[in-house]
């Protein structure tokens, strides 16, 4: 079964109806049918909340998180090993720490990372990346 890891930008694209929303919807439908699996680090999920709070306020952010919980996305907790793995990825690829959680999760599960963040280009030889359209 194909596995995808969403970074925060993937979920934000869905909520903000940005370029890439169509592809995100396709992946969600595929996962809903049981043909694939979508994972997301709780750290990146928290990043989505923070971005929406800054841009639209806490009520909108709480609504978005509630809506996200109904999506076929498996949230992955961060334990000691995942925190260390994320730091190792951060150091090796010079990523932001929060981004390194999505990258480390993709490496752990041999998954395709779904993103619109060009910082992940540094990682594209190690992890398959599905690039969301940014314009």
Q: Domain 2-131: which CATH class?
A: alpha beta
Evaluate if residue 40 carries a pLDDT over 80.
Answer: yes
pLDDT at 103: 97
Q: Where are the alpha helices (DSSP H) in the chain?
A: 8-15, 21-32, 42-56, 58-69, 80-93, 97-108
pLDDT at 134: 59
Contacting residues for 34 by C-beta, under 8 A, at least 6 apart: none
- Contact 98/86 with Cβ under 8 angstroms? no
What percent of the chain is modeled with pLDDT above 90? 89
């Amino acid at each position: 079964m194909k596995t995808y890891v969403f970074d925060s930008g993937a979920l934000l694209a869905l909520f903000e109806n940005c370029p890439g929303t169509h592809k995100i919807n396709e992946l969600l439908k595929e996962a809903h049918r049981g043909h694939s699996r979508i994972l997301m680090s709780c750290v990146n999920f928290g990043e989505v909340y923070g971005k929406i709070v800054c841009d639209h306020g806490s009520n909108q952010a709480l609504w978005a998180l509630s809506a996200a919980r109904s999506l076929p996305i498996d949230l992955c907790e961060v334990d000691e090993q995942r925190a260390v793995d994320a730091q190792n990825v951060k150091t090796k690829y010079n990523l932001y720490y929060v981004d390194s959680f999505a990258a480390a999760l993709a490496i752990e599960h041999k998954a395709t990372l779904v993103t619109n963040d060009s910082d992940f280009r540094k990682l594209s030889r190690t992890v398959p990346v599905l690039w969301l359209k940014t314009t």
